[in-house]
Structure 1
Amino acid sequence: MSIREWPAEERPREKLLLRGAAVLSDAELVAVLLGSGVAGRNVLELARGLLVRFGGLRPFLEADRQAILREPGLGPVKYAQLQALLEIGRRYLDETIERTPALESPEAVRRYLKAMLRHEASEVFGCLFLDTKHRPLAFEILFRGTIDRASIYPREVVRRALLHNAAALILCHNHPSGNSEPSQDDVHMTLALKRALGLIDVRVLDHIIVGDGEPLSMVEEGWIVA
């Protein structure tokens, strides 16, 4: 049965227009994005099959180009649309947090940092720079690759903090393995950065580690003291 023959309130696009995007399932959201199905499969069946094969919404959206192009009905245009969707989401969050009057919600900060880092296939290290009232000034990814004490340069972090005239900052990095537990290198590196930044009166408020599930706060877990 063609999806056009379904009742209007059951078609993903019409359902979104009638009741809002929040009521749609993951498969229905993907169906709206895809727009049309393939021979023998309507768009919702296609979307459901994709989520099953890739293991869920996030693995599907983060799949590389070759994996997407192997799927029937998905070509370079759809891949480009998926990448644009992800980048729009990241930029929206970036603008939203930069317009926030103050960081009153640690949960909001963790959600933001997770959105900015979780998609990264390799380890990256970044800083959220803050003013004297802990309002966001800028977010930057400073280092890429395997993150350890040897690959993080305190001088560069200090230089960027001075450039933004930051009074405080939140360190962050991701664990592509999904395990958010900090390593001893993470702890030593954080303490070294705290010492270096303390020399220019810039406070390190926290170090957030992004893995699967909720990001880990090294301050809340007692690994470091703010």
Structure 2
Amino acid sequence: MSISQWPAQERPRERLLEYGAAALSDAELLAIFLRTGVKGRSAVALSRDLLQEFGGLSQLLNASMQQFCAYRGLGQAKYVQLQATLELARRNLACEVARESALSSPQAVRDYLQIQLQGLEQERFLLLLLDSQHRVITLETLSLGTINAATVHPREVVKATLAANAAAVILAHNHPSGVAEPSRADRQITDHIQQALALIDVPVLDHLVVGSGQSCSFAERGWL
């Protein structure tokens, strides 16, 4: 049975209009994006198959074009549409965090950093530079690869902070393993950066570790 033959209250588009996008499952939202299924599989059924095949929504959204297009029912056009949608989400969040203080909209900042880092296969260390009102000045990538004292040096953080005339910073990096729990090395690096920035009177407001669909905040743990 195709989705058009389902009861109206069970169709993803009708459910979105009635209850809002947040009420829909990952599979239902993906089905709206895909619009059509394949022979013998509705868009919702295809979406469930895709989420299971890729291991979840994050892995699907961050799949390479080759991985994405290899699945029956998908193709380059849908891959391009998906990447455009993701970039729109990134830019929307960037605008939101730029307008507000990072302290007055911490969830927006968290969402912004998560969408920048989630699903990456390589570790990336980001530095969010803030002005005296805690509004975003810019976001810089400080390191690619395994995060350790050799790749993320406090001197580089101080240099970037001074160059931007930043009054505060937020640190963020991802764990490609998907587990957001900070390591001992993560805590040591944060301590070193915090000590270095204290010399120029710039606080570290938070360090966010991003995993698969989850994140851990140093500030919420009381570690800063």
* Same fold at TM > 0.5: yes
Query: How far apart are residue 28 of structure 1 and its match?
Result: 1.5
Q: Structure 2 vs 1, CA of residues 222 and 26 (structure 1 numbering), >3 Å: closer, same or farther?
A: closer
1:175 corresponds in structure 2 to 175
- Contact persistence 2:209–2:217 (CA under 8 A): yes
TM-score normalized with structure 1 length: 0.86
Q: Which runs of 5+ in 2 are unaligned?
A: none
Q: Corresponding residue for 1:90?
A: 90
Q: Secondary structure at the match of 1:67?
A: helix
What amino acid sits opposite 2:146 in the alignment? T
What's 1:60 paired with? 60
Using the TM superposition, give the Cα deviation of residue 197 of structure 1 relative to its aligned residue in structure 2, in angstroms: 2.1
| 1:1-226 correspondence runs (5 A) | 1-212=1-212, 214-223=214-223, 225=224
CA contact (8 A) 2:37 2:46 kept: yes
Moved more, 59-68 or 141-150: 59-68
Identity among equivalent positions (%) equals 52
Q: How many residues align structurally?
A: 224
How many Å separate the matches in 1 of 2:28 and 2:222?
Answer: 41
Query: In structure 1, what residue type is equivalent to 2:59?
Result: P
C-alpha spacing 1:114/1:45, structure 2 compared with 1 (3 Å): same
Cα-Cα RMSD: 2.3
SS of 1:125's partner is: strand
Distance 1:181 1:25 in 2: 26
Question: Is the CA contact (8 Å cut-off) linking 1:103 and 1:136 kept in structure 2?
Answer: no
| Structure 1 pair 102–123 and aligned structure 2 pair: CA distance change class (3 A) | closer
Look up the SS of the partner of 2:96 in the other structure: helix
CA contact (8 A) 1:126 1:140 kept: yes
Task: Give the letter for the 1:147 counterpart.
Answer: I
State the AA in 2 paired with 1:207: H
Letter in 1 for 2:183: S
Contact 1:208–1:215, Cα closer than 8 Å, also in 2: yes
Unaligned runs of 5+ in 1: none
TM-score normalised per structure 2: 0.87
- 1:31 CA drift (Å): 1.0
Runs of 4+ in 1 over 6 A off after TM superposition: none
What secondary structure does 2:188 align onto?
Answer: helix
- 2:206 and 2:10 map into 1 onto residues whose CA distance is 46
Once the two structures are TM-superposed, the CA of residue 198 in structure 1 deviates from its matched residue by 2.6
Given residue 80 of structure 1, which amino acid in structure 2 is its aligned partner? Answer: V
In structure 1, C-alpha distance between the alignment counterparts of 2:71 and 2:212, rounded to whole Å: 26
Q: CA deviation at 1:191?
A: 2.5
Secondary structure of the residue that 1:126 maps to in structure 2?
strand
Is the Cα contact below 8 Å between 2:93 and 2:108 reproduced in 1? Answer: no
- Partner SS for 1:97: helix
Alpha-carbon distance between aligned partners in 2 of 1:179 and 1:5, rounded to the nearest angstrom: 41
